[in-house]
Amino acid sequence: MGEFSSFWSSALIPQRGLIHVDIDQNVLGVVYPDVETYWIVSDIQAFVDKLMPHLQQSSAITFPRAESNSLEVGENQVRPNFLMQEIQKAIVEGSKAVVMSEAGNSFAWATHCLRFQEPGRYRVSTSFGSMGHAVTGILGAALICGKAVGIVGDGAMLMNGGEINTAVKYQIPVVWIILNDGRYNMVAQGASQQGFQGVDTMLPVVDFVKFAQAMGADGVRVNSEIEVSQALVQAMSSSQPFVVDVAIDPSVKSPITNRIESLIVQGSIQIKGGYVK
pLDDT tens for each residue of 161-201? 999 999 999 999 999 999 999 989 888 888 888 888 778 88
What integer pLDDT is reported at residue 277 of this predicted model?
42
pLDDT at 163: 98
End-to-end Cα spacing for the chain: 28
Q: What is the mean pLDDT of residues 116-139?
A: 89
Handedness of CA 86, 90, 94, 96 (dihedral sign): negative
**Per-residue pLDDT tens digits for 86-96:** 999 999 999 99
State how beta strands 174-180 and 242-247 pair: parallel
Instruction: Give the closest residue to 108 by CA, choosing from 163, 59, 152.
Output: 152
What DSSP assignment string belongs to 168-232? HHHT--EEEEEEE-SB-HHHHHHHHHTTPPP-S-B-----HHHHHHTTT-EEEEE-SGGGHHHHH
The model's pTM: 0.80
Domains and CATH numbers, the chain: 1-52 (no CATH), 80-257 (3.40.50.970)
Exposed/middle/buried for residue 174 (C-beta within 10 Å: 0-12, 13-18, 19+) = buried
